[in-house]
Amino acid sequence: MEHLSATDCIALVAVGLLAGFINTVAASGGTVAVPAMIELGLEADLANGTNRLSAMSSSLTATWRFHRAGVIPWPITAWLAIPVGCGAMLGAWAASRLNARGAELAVAASLLVVLALLLIRPGRWLSADPEPGPLTGSPLLSLTLGAIGFWSGFISLGAGSMALMALVLLGGQSLRQANVIKVVLRLVSSGLALLIFLWRGQVLWDWALPLALASSVGALIGAKVALGEQASRWIYNTLLVVIGGEVIRLGLRIDAEPVWRLAQHLWRGPA
Can you give the pLDDT at residue 271? 45
Can you give the pLDDT at residue 259? 47
What percentage of the chain exceeds 70 in pLDDT? 80
Q: What is the pLDDT of residues 60-101, one digit of tens each?
A: 999 999 999 999 999 999 999 999 999 999 988 887 555 555
Q: Is the pLDDT at 163 greater than 70, yes or no?
A: yes
Q: What is the pLDDT of residues 33-55, one digit of tens each?
A: 887 888 888 887 788 889 999 99
Q: What is the pLDDT of residues 198-241, one digit of tens each?
A: 988 889 999 999 999 999 999 999 999 988 878 778 888 888 88
User: Are 223 and 24 contacting, i.e. CB atoms less than 8 angstroms apart?
Assistant: yes
Is the whole-model pTM more than 0.85? no
